[in-house]
Amino acid sequence: MVAPKSFVVSYNPELQQFEVFSVKDEDLAPLRSKNVVAPWRLEDIPGEELTENIASRLGATALGILSIYHAEVKQRLRVKPDQFPFP
C-alpha cells in the first residue's frame, strides 16, 4: 500500500521556478507547529465540491503565502485569495 502523501508548492530563487513535489503525510507533522498553516475544512466548502473556483482560490492562497517570504513572487503577484470567494 502506498503511504498517504501531500504536496508542497515551493519557490526556488536560484532557478527562479516554482516546484511542486510530494511529501509523506507523516513527515509533515513536525512542520505544522513551526510554519504558517492555512486550513481549508472540506465541510466549509459550499457543496463540499472541489470546483475550478476552489482550485483557483487554493492556488492564489499558495502564491500569497509564498509572496510573504519571496520578494520575487510578491512583486509579480496580481491575484488575492479574496478575488475567488466561495459562492
* Whether 28 contacts 45, CB under 8 Å: no
Percent of the chain with pLDDT over 90: 44
The 10s digit of each residue's pLDDT in 35-73 is: 888 888 888 888 888 998 888 888 888 898 899 999 999
Is the pLDDT confidence value at 20 over 90? Answer: yes
Angle at 24 between CA 22 and CA 25, to 5 degrees: 115
Whether residue 46 contacts residue 87, with contact meaning beta carbons closer than 8 Å, is answered with yes
